């Protein structure tokens, strides 16, 4: 296997599941995710989404960038890197986190897996090796990108627990949200974490690439009676908007990619204040975030319930006086919520009020454009939040 | 104990002492903690061998901030000049030396054209350097500001440049980033003249005459007063500063190396000595260089990541070595006229020579034929050596701190090389040597705890200058770490015995400005 730094020598990469995802991809729709070839959709976006919300669906997560962080200073290093208190993430647990630059602007978000003593895996959508190495100055840590060394699948949806049980993972129902557990799988280790990006009951499976195809095959054997389907990024995108989750490059611009300093967002501006722990004496961005807390933020992120059935794609948000106060960052018609929903970034203080917000929506029917102004209602939390997501033991059917 | 709480100054270099004196005069409780058994840092006079006292590192006081002398009453604390306005003698191997006295060519084999060109050049450089001189006593502007008040210093700087007048301003902006070599080629023909100016532009830096922005480092060198020698050597200045600080109520502890800074919830709250003793403070001011301060005393982990990266990339690779000699007679430089031995002597016969000397330093080698700045301070200050005998103090370039093979293995070889070179100009010198000490950058790092053994604590170049010195985020003396300030040569206005960094830092601390 090539060293991660030599990844550029190979222009197009395939995930360890490619033989299976290619066979399943009836639409032959692909796109490039961090150089890897991944499916937009396999057979029908709506049906893949429907399988996810009513049975279960599997998503090839392998291109997710995985960084392994080890060494005596792993914990202090991570506590300096991210805004939350990593000390509270016990071994065998997973935590969602964001990390910022010195200006307190979000570089990326990701999930941090506490694998064992002084042993962590940080998963993020963007490559972060450079930033992690920079942040490692003065710490005794080993940092390695291991994206290609771990094959990963997301198995999500109401019957996902049943599928894993039938795969032979004993006691899987007792696995709590944000916990992980190691199982034996055909002579290798299969790590299962109860995590995901869909806002539903679901799991992520982590295995050596050598066992990737076998895992896919066994999952589909076990999943057949539970309605398991493969799902591409389009269906995943729908589910994450319904869950109210944000996405790098869509709902915020990673700070290290921004040229214009006012285009980035702080954790407060992304409704992630709960992730910022000022109890820690130092983390990158702390000073700036304290200052922001004192002076007030420039933006806020809101989840909007938009009147009517037209997705408010790229819409301006107006206040009652017809002043533009923000823009929509992502939107969709939500089949589960039966509403048009959107995430939007509103400027402050102009967009401070929840009342009187309107979206100006342009939409097209057979090449004819129309415009509608739709009233918006600010919603707290996700648009879709079933109780099974948190239930322990998880429902097994 | 005063109500505002104790301020600890780490390091009793001239800047640390100046800072302490100003803070104490403002009524603050100040404790200066110094690793060495004597004050002064690199501005220190040491006994080389019994009866011979020599400026250990720095030897000339041309940049000393006159405000310091007046405000702190240093003359009342024993500070005096042994010699003011030294001439510069650019040595010629054959004895056809060039003597520069201020803006005038006093003697030498140079054309009339060069003479008048030099007069005009020197006058203009003095005017341009005046812009930098006016910044010494100011806290540098911020690169980004949130209040209009913060923009004032930048406007002041712009105004200073504008007030040069159209011609000078245009010339300033044209040449400030240029290599000095190119400017010299434009201006003069005489190699000795070009060599002397080229050496002045690169002395103490890791730059050669063909390096960019060496006109800036030349202007920096000119941004003070005339070349002077303190009576008793530079150590006497440090003693006077210490005396002024003590008189104002500051306490100075010697032989007490600081091991680390103490932190409480992200705020610096004192220091821990290598002895284990802990000393509490509400404010710690570091006279140590920025890398030592942030990486060794504080620890990079207590900084935010981008700031830590900037400190990591701060360039501080010393290339200047110091040769100190005790001589049992009067050195006889070929062709030197009576009285000229007390002037500043340069071995830099040509700008190409200096650049050749620099070439090896880029590749971790020391110069085969080094460029040298020599003073014989015992001429003007006979007390430094026994009657009829002398001490010679020479700055030698280039001797990179990252020398291939290491200095411990090659120190003697380089010392002999320099002695051989001196012998060419002063035949018989080697036989006069009673004691010789070559301080390489490695020795400077060990003895004076300066990262990379760099005289200026950090390279003096445009990207580490003024509001970029040492790094953005700490260029106004306050650091991103609450309770921690810098006051050393790693800050504006930089290296050389100036003292303005200490004075400016004290003002910032008394104003209570955060970074």
Same domain, A317 and A179: no
Q: What is the pLDDT of residue B338?
A: 83
Statement: residue B2 has pLDDT above 70:
no
ipTM surpasses 0.90:
yes
The rounded distance, in Å, linking the Cα atoms of B394 and B58 is 9
Domain boundary among B424, B448, B472: B448
Q: Do A135 and B307 touch (CB under 8 A)?
A: no
- Is B320 within a domain? yes
- Full domain range(s) for residue B37: 6-79+232-315+460-511
The rounded distance, in Å, linking the Cα atoms of B18 and B136 is 14
Can you tell me which residue has the tokens 């129902």? A173
Q: Do B308 and A101 touch (CB under 8 A)?
A: no
Statement: residue B146 has pLDDT above 70:
no
Q: Is A138 near chain B, with CB under 8 Å? A: yes
Same domain, B277 and B297: yes
Average pLDDT over residues B309-326: 97
Same domain, B442 and B323: yes
**A/B interface, count of CB pairs below 8 Å:** 51
- Is B95 within a domain? no
Q: How many CA atoms lie within 13 A of A152 on its CB side?
A: 22
> Can you give the CATH number for the domain in which A52 is found?
3.30.1360.120
Q: Give the chain A residue nearest B299 (alpha carbons).
A: A138
Provide the mean pLDDT of chain B. 95
With beta carbons under 8 A apart, name residues in chain A contacting B310. none
Same domain, B292 and B362: no
Q: Do A282 and B301 touch (CB under 8 A)?
A: yes
Can you tell me which residue has the tokens 């037209």? A310
B236-248: pLDDT as tens digits: 999 999 999 999 9
> Nearest by CB to B307, which of A73, A76, A102?
A102
> Nearest by CB to A287, which of B300, B302, B304?
B304
> Nearest by CB to B304, which of A76, A102, A139?
A102
- Is B47 within a domain? yes
B19 Cβ neighbours under 8 A, 6+ residues apart: B9, B285, B287, B487, B501, B502, B503, B505, B506, B509
The rounded distance, in Å, linking the Cα atoms of A200 and A202 is 6
Q: Give the chain B residue nearest A74 (alpha carbons).
A: B301
Q: Do B299 and A138 touch (CB under 8 A)?
A: yes
The rounded distance, in Å, linking the Cα atoms of B287 and B502 is 8
Same domain, B309 and B249: yes
Q: Angle formed by the axes of helices B234-247 and B14-25, to 10°?
A: 20
Q: What is the pLDDT of residue A260?
A: 92
Candidates A102, A103, A291: best to mutate against B (most CBs of B within 10 A) is A102
- Is A305 within a domain? yes
Q: Is B301 near chain A, with CB under 8 Å? A: yes
Q: What is the pLDDT of residue B154?
A: 86
Q: What is the pLDDT of residue A1?
A: 53
Rg of chain B, C-alpha, whole Å: 22
pLDDT of chain A, 397 residues: tens digit per residue = 566 677 778 889 999 999 999 999 999 999 999 889 999 999 999 999 999 999 999 999 999 999 999 999 999 999 999 999 999 999 999 999 999 999 999 999 999 999 999 999 999 988 999 999 999 999 999 999 999 999 999 999 999 999 999 999 999 999 999 999 999 999 999 999 999 999 999 999 999 999 999 999 999 999 999 999 999 999 999 999 999 999 999 999 999 999 998 899 999 999 999 999 999 999 999 999 999 999 999 999 999 999 999 999 999 999 999 999 999 999 999 999 999 999 999 999 999 999 999 999 999 999 999 999 999 999 998 899 999 999 999 998 7
Q: Give the chain A residue nearest B263 (alpha carbons).
A: A281
The rounded distance, in Å, linking the Cα atoms of A188 and A207 is 8
SS3 content of chain A, % helix, strand, coil (to 5): 25, 35, 40
- Is A171 within a domain? yes
With beta carbons under 8 A apart, name residues in chain A contacting B479. none
Candidates B305, B312, B514: best to mutate against A (most CBs of A within 10 A) is B305
> Nearest by CB to A134, which of B263, B299, B305?
B305
- Is A89 within a domain? no
Same domain, B308 and B402: no
Q: Angle formed by the axes of helices B166-175 and B112-136, to 10°?
A: 90
Same domain, A325 and A186: no
Q: Do B301 and A76 touch (CB under 8 A)?
A: yes
- Is B88 within a domain? no
Domain boundary among A231, A256, A277: A231
Give which of B181, B231, B186, B227 is closest to B201, Cα–Cα.
Answer: B181
- Is A46 within a domain? yes
Q: Do A137 and B265 touch (CB under 8 A)?
A: no
Q: Is A134 near chain B, with CB under 8 Å? A: yes
Q: Do A282 and B312 touch (CB under 8 A)?
A: no
A positions 259-298 inside 8 Å of B (CB):
281-287
Q: What is the pLDDT of residue A335?
A: 95
Same domain, B132 and B167: yes
Average pLDDT over residues B65-70: 94
Domain boundary among A231, A252, A284: A231
Same domain, B327 and B396: yes
Model confidence band, residue B57 (pLDDT cutoffs 50, 70, 90): very high
Same domain, B368 and B419: yes
Same domain, A188 and A311: no
Model confidence band, residue B385 (pLDDT cutoffs 50, 70, 90): very high
B positions 312-341 inside 8 Å of A (CB):
312
Q: What is the pLDDT of residue B1?
A: 41
Q: Do B308 and A138 touch (CB under 8 A)?
A: yes
Q: Is A345 near chain B, with CB under 8 Å? A: no
The rounded distance, in Å, linking the Cα atoms of A381 and A245 is 10
With beta carbons under 8 A apart, name residues in chain A contacting B299. 138
- Is B481 within a domain? yes
- Full domain range(s) for residue A188: 4-62+150-231
- Is B111 within a domain? no
> Nearest by CB to A102, which of B299, B301, B306?
B306
Same domain, B332 and B444: yes
B411-456: pLDDT as tens digits: 999 999 999 999 999 999 999 999 999 999 999 999 999 999 999 9
- Is A244 within a domain? no
Same domain, A203 and A328: no
Q: What is the pLDDT of residue B153?
A: 83
- Is A94 within a domain? no
With beta carbons under 8 A apart, name residues in chain B contacting A285. 304
Q: Give the chain A residue nearest B296 (alpha carbons).
A: A138
Q: Do A282 and B480 touch (CB under 8 A)?
A: no
Statement: residue B513 has pLDDT above 80:
no
Give chain B's domain count. 3
- Is A357 within a domain? yes
With beta carbons under 8 A apart, name residues in chain A contacting B306. 101-102, 134, 284
- How far A89 CA sits from the closest chain B CA (Å)? 20
A120-158: pLDDT as tens digits: 999 998 899 999 999 999 999 999 999 999 999 999 999
Same domain, A192 and A57: yes
The rounded distance, in Å, linking the Cα atoms of B305 and B377 is 47
Domain boundary among B394, B421, B448: B448
Same domain, B258 and B380: no
Q: Is B495 near chain A, with CB under 8 Å? A: no
Same domain, B250 and B327: no
Same domain, A320 and A201: no
Give which of A209, A239, A181 is closest to A57, Cα–Cα.
Answer: A239
With beta carbons under 8 A apart, name residues in chain B contacting A133. none
- Is B108 within a domain? no
Q: What is the pLDDT of residue A9?
A: 85
Same domain, B61 and B145: no
Give chain A's domain count. 2
With beta carbons under 8 A apart, name residues in chain A contacting B302. 281-282
Q: Is B303 near chain A, with CB under 8 Å? A: yes
- Is B96 within a domain? no
- How far B392 CA sits from the closest chain A CA (Å)? 42
Domain boundary among A178, A196, A231: A231
Q: Which of A157-161, B138-142, B287-291, B324-328 has the lowest mean pLDDT?
A: B138-142
- Is A38 within a domain? yes
């Amino acid at each position: 296997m090539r060293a991660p730094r030599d990844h550029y020598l190979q222009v197009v990469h395939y995930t360890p599941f490619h033989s299976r995802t290619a066979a399943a991809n009836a639409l032959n729709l692909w796109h490039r995710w961090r150089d890897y070839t991944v499916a937009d959709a396999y057979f029908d976006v709506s049906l893949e989404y429907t399988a996810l919300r009513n049975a279960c669906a599997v998503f090839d997560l392998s291109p997710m960038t995985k960084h392994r962080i080890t060494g005596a200073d792993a914990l202090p290093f991570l506590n300096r890197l991210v805004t939350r208190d990593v000390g509270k993430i016990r071994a065998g647990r997973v935590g969602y986190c964001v990390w910022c630059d010195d200006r307190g602007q979000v570089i990326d978000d990701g999930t941090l897996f506490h694998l064992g003593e002084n042993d962590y895996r940080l998963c993020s959508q963007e490559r972060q090796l450079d930033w992690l190495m920079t942040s490692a100055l003065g710490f005794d840590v080993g940092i390695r990108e291991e994206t290609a060394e771990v094959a990963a699948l997301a198995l999500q949806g109401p019957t996902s627990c049943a599928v894993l049980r039938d795969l032979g993972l004993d006691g899987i129902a007792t696995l709590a949200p944000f916990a992980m557990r190691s199982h034996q799988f055909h002579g290798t280790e299969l790590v299962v974490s109860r995590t995901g990006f869909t806002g539903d009951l679901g799991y992520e499976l982590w295995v050596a690439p050598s066992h990737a195809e076998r895992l896919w095959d066994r999952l589909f054997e076990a999943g057949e009676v539970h309605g398991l389907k493969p799902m591409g990024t389009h269906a995943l995108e729908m589910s994450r908007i319904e869950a109210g989750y944000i996405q790098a490059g869509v709902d915020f611009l990673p700070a290290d990619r921004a040229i214009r300093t006012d285009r980035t967002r702080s954790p407060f501006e992304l409704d992630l204040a709960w992730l910022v722990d000022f109890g820690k004496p130092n983390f990158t961005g702390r000073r700036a975030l304290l200052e922001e807390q004192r002076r007030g933020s420039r933006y806020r992120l809101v989840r909007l319930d938009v009147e009517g059935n037209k997705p408010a794609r790229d819409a301006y948000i107006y206040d009652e006086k017809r002043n533009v106060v923000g823009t929509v960052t992502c939107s969709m018609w939500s089949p589960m919520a039966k509403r048009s929903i959107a995430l939007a970034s509103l400027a402050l203080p102009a967009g401070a009020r929840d009342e009187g917000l309107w979206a100006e929506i342009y939409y097209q029917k057979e090449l004819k454009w129309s415009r509608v102004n739709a009233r918006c209602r600010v919603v707290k939390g996700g648009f879709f939040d079933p109780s099974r997501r948190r239930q322990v033991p998880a429902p097994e059917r | 104990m005063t109500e505002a709480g104790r301020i600890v100054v780490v390091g009793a270099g001239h800047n640390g002492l100046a800072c302490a004196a100003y803070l104490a005069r403002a009524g603050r409780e100040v404790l200066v903690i110094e690793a060495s058994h004597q004050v002064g840092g690199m501005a220190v006079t040491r006994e080389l061998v019994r009866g011979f006292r020599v400026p250990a590192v720095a030897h000339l006081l041309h940049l000393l901030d006159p405000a310091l002398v007046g405000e702190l009453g240093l003359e009342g604390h024993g500070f005096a000049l042994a010699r003011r306005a030294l001439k510069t003698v650019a040595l010629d191997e054959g004895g056809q030396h060039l003597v520069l006295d201020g803006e005038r060519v006093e003697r030498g084999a140079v054309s009339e054209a060069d003479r008048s060109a030099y007069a005009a050049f020197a006058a203009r450089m003095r005017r341009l350097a005046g812009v930098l001189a006016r910044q010494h006593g100011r806290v540098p502007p911020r690169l980004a500001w949130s209040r209009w008040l913060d923009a004032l210093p930048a406007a002041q700087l712009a105004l200073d440049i504008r007030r040069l007048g159209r011609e000078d301003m245009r010339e300033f902006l044209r040449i400030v980033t240029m290599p000095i070599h190119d400017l010299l080629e434009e201006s003069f023909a005489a190699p000795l003249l070009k060599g002397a100016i080229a050496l002045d532009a690169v002395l103490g830096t890791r730059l050669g005459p063909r390096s960019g922005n060496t006109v800036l480092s030349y202007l920096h060198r000119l941004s003070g007063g005339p070349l002077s020698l303190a009576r008793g050597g530079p150590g006497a200045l440090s003693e006077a500063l210490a005396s002024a600080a003590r008189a104002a109520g500051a306490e100075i502890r010697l032989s007490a190396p600081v091991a680390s800074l103490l932190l409480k919830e992200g705020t610096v709250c004192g220091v821990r000595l290598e002895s284990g003793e802990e000393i509490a403070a509400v404010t710690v001011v570091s006279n140590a260089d920025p890398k030592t301060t942030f990486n060794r005393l504080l620890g990079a982990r207590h900084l935010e990541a981008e700031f830590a990266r900037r400190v990591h990339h701060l360039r501080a690779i010393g290339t200047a070595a110091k040769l100190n000699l005790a001589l049992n007679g009067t050195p006889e430089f070929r062709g030197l006229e009576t009285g000229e031995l007390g002037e500043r002597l340069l071995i830099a016969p040509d700008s190409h020579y200096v650049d050749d000397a620099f070439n090896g330093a880029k590749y971790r080698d020391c110069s085969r034929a080094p460029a040298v700045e020599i003073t014989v301070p015992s001429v003007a200050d006979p007390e430094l050596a026994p009657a009829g005998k002398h001490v010679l103090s020479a700055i030698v370039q280039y001797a990179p701190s990252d020398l291939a093979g290491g200095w411990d293995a090659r120190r003697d070889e380089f010392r002999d090389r320099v002695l051989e070179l001196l012998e060419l100009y002063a035949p018989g010198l080697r036989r006069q040597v009673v004691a010789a000490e070559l301080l390489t950058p490695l020795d400077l790092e060990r003895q004076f705890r300066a990262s990379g053994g760099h005289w200026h604590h950090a390279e003096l170049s445009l990207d580490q200058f003024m509001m970029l010195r040492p790094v953005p985020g700490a260029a106004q003396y306050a650091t991103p770490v609450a309770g921690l300030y810098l006051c050393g040569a790693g800050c504006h206005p930089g290296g050389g015995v100036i003292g303005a960094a200490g004075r400016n830092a004290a003002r910032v601390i008394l104003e209570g400005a955060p970074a």
